[in-house]
Amino acid sequence: MRLKNILTMITFAATATMAAQSPLPSGLDKNNMNLSAKPGTDFFEYAGGGWMKAHPLTAEYARYAQFDALQETNRKQLRELIETMATQQAPQGSLQQKIGGLYRLAMDSVRRNAEGYAPIKNYLEAIGNIKSRKELQYEVARLSSKGVSSFFGFGCDADLKDSRWNLMQINQGGIAMGERDYYLADDEPTRKIREAYKQYVKKLFVMTGKDDAAAQKAMEGVMNVETRIAKESYSMTKLRDVEGNYHKMTYGQLLNDFPGIDWSTLFLLNGVPAFEHISVNQPEPIHEVEKILAEVPLEDLKSYLYFCVVDDATGLLSDDFRAASFDFYSHTMSGAEQDRPRWKRAVGAVEGALGMAVGKMYVEKYFPESSKQRMLQLVKNLQEALGQRIDKQEWMSDATKKQAHEKLNSFYVKIGYPDTWMDYSGLVIDEKLSYYENMARASQFMSRYYIDKRVNKQTDRTEWLMTPQTINAYYNPTTNEICFPAGILQPPFFNAQADDACNYGAIGVVIGHEMTHGFDDQGSQFDKDGNLRNWWTPEDNEQFKARTKVMKDFFDNIEVLPGMKANGQLTLGENIADHGGLNIAYQAFKNATKAQPLGKKDGFTPEQRFFLSYGLVWANNTREAMLRQLNKIDPHSAGRWRVNGALPHIDAWYEAFNIKKSDPLFVPKKKRVNIW
């Protein structure tokens, strides 16, 4: 899924069209600012310093942003809904029974601590009994049907070059730390993480009954397999090269070109019907897996598979397993000091397994229908503003502009919640079975659901790729759709009790951000129908690339931590989206307030309040470990740079705050990014 989301995003207020509400307050709270900071020196601190000081990191957080504060509220609402069901005995098979039952299982630590790792013992024994490479491949396929992935992944998603149809796809995978750098890089912080990982892997073997020497040997086997896969894996940056991650072939060609993997057993055990075409999205790591399966000693392959099962299960077994996994993944890798309370994890588990069912209840209770109407109007205003900005671009020919307008006018807009709800009748939650076994069932149910819905089928533009309670938004290039779930349509993102300056600076920029993804370095390669097809004249395309390079170079030079630079290529799409989002929302804001300009409120002009609202959205406190991790894997820039890196390229920001050449954030006009 090549979704572009806003990730940690933010605030929105009233719409321009609600003229009757003109005396709305500014929505600005000066306590959130740090008035002793200077806008031209550190706008991030100026707009959000007060909020950051008032919200220091608690032990459970590695990063705490405005976004997380809203998530806390959301989670409490969901908890109330779910716990109501968990305290009742609903009829077996009802949604209430499924939700309540799964939550009870997730909360029952007494039972899980008594069970230890018993729920996965039969899986581990099956691996122990493997006698040949052929049997090993069978076990890989069987585990994948239970939701345990190992050497690689597969799925079914839109065909990038024929977006009306879904296409089977094979993806790289198989490395638990998630990014090749963790296995290969030689800098001190990464080496420390790698050493801690080895200890963690070894520990899981000891905890499941191996003696120290056997656990040491098993760990070395795991590291051997994962490091080999990592060496051939694509970096996060390379994964953003759309054309380079598309290799469509017939099923026959797959069997011929990748003979080292038992594909037919894999698809058979996963219930995948016969199909004609498939894309091996990253061929090199898949070829490496073929070699690994043929060359690595069988015992090491078994150790690797064994680790995949235990590592995947840690959150579903006794507390000591969860603690081991928290200690490595959340503490060592991200910097969190303390695990989330059990109820938060339980709410998360229910959301993961039955998210749309919970979402339906959530919108019925918490989402006002009026929000949908206001959002539709806002989206329309933003669409109009983007159209105006496309017309204004002097570097673009009329021919390309015409195509851009067609794409803009074809946006498919989703707001709040889906029209039809997912059917969970095929999922059975049985409290006589372990929590682990029930979660495996949920995973199997979901996997079969998408196989039935997608393999050999046309794509479904009405399908929602986020649950309604999610606090986020996305653009999907293959459907040319923008989606704003109910979760994000509340303060501080969307605030009916504040004026347009506040709202356009927050949710307005979110909308503009998602729209701009249709025209970022990746989105611009897809046409209005969602096909990977070039619609640019060669000259315009050159111009566009030259302009995006200014953005890439600027972010490449940002020092996130001493000695650690940002990755301008990895974050290019998101930085373009922030840039476009700001320009488009500002234009829409000006259009909306043209007839009745907003005056100064609370000592700030409307233009200043627009940018202050934007800046506050990204206020956050983040631990150093988390900053290092995000710098490797996150296509979004760190919050500080979504403010201090984005605004210096927006002309209107200079005017609003009278930013001068002598200010540290000043960028000469000729060097500013100028795209949308």
Q: Is 4 in the site for Zn ion (CB under 5 A)?
A: yes
Window 153-192: contact mask with Zn ion (x via CB under 5 A): ----------------------------------------
Applying CB under 5 A, which part among 6-14, 229-237, 320-328, 420-428 lies near Zn ion?
6-14
Q: Nearer Cβ to Zn ion, position 466 or 577?
A: 577
Q: What is the residue whose two structure tokens read 């070039």? A: 534
Applying CB under 5 A, which part among 363-371, 491-499, 569-577, 638-646 lies near Zn ion?
569-577
Q: Is 473 in the site for Zn ion (CB under 5 A)?
A: no
Q: Nearer Cβ to Zn ion, position 4 or 322?
A: 4
Q: Is 642 in the site for Zn ion (CB under 5 A)?
A: no
Report how far apart the first and last C-alpha atoms of the chain are (Å, whole number).
25
- Report the nearest approach of Zn ion to the CB of residue 464 (Å): 17
Distances (CA, A) of 394 to 288, 388, 398, 401: 48, 12, 10, 10
> Which residues pair with residue 162 across a beta bridge?
159
Q: Nearer Cβ to Zn ion, position 289 or 577?
A: 577
> Which residues pair with residue 622 across a beta bridge?
63
78: closest CA among 447, 617, 493, 467?
467
* Both structure tokens of 418: 């889906």
Q: Is 577 in the site for Zn ion (CB under 5 A)?
A: yes
Q: Nearer Cβ to Zn ion, position 354 or 515?
A: 515
- How many positions of this chain bind Zn ion (CB under 5 A)? 4
Helices (H) and strands (E) in the chain, counts: 26, 12
Q: What is the residue whose two structure tokens read 């500080």? A: 640
Nearest residue to Zn ion by CB is: 4
Q: Nearer Cβ to Zn ion, position 4 or 302?
A: 4
Q: Nearer Cβ to Zn ion, position 4 or 98?
A: 4
CA distance 445 to 425: 10
Q: Nearer Cβ to Zn ion, position 6 or 293?
A: 6
Applying CB under 5 A, which part among 5-13, 22-30, 357-365, 502-510 lies near Zn ion?
5-13
Q: Nearer Cβ to Zn ion, position 4 or 112?
A: 4
Please name the residue ranges forming H helices in 557-605: 572-592
Handedness of CA 349, 352, 357, 362 (dihedral sign): positive
Applying CB under 5 A, which part among 1-9, 318-326, 373-381, 497-505 lies near Zn ion?
1-9
Window 526-565: contact mask with Zn ion (x via CB under 5 A): ----------------------------------------
- Report the nearest approach of Zn ion to the CB of residue 552 (Å): 16
CB 214 within 8 A of CB 205: yes
Please name the residue ranges forming H helices in 618-658: 624-633, 639-644, 651-657
Q: Is 588 helix (H, G, I), strand (E, B) or coil?
A: helix
Give every strand in the sheet of 277-280, ordered side by side: 152-159, 162-172, 277-280, 248-250
* Both structure tokens of 570: 């990895």
Applying CB under 5 A, which part among 242-250, 301-309, 331-339, 566-574 lies near Zn ion?
566-574
- Cα 414 from chain centre: 18
Residues of span 50-89 touching Zn ion by CB under 5 A: none
CA distance 390 to 541: 14
Maximum Cα interatomic distance, the chain, rounded to a whole number of Å: 78
- Report the nearest approach of Zn ion to the CB of residue 519 (Å): 12
Q: Is 2 in the site for Zn ion (CB under 5 A)?
A: no
- Report the nearest approach of Zn ion to the CB of residue 474 (Å): 8
Q: Nearer Cβ to Zn ion, position 26 or 476?
A: 476
Residues that bind Zn ion (CB under 5 A): 4, 6, 574, 577
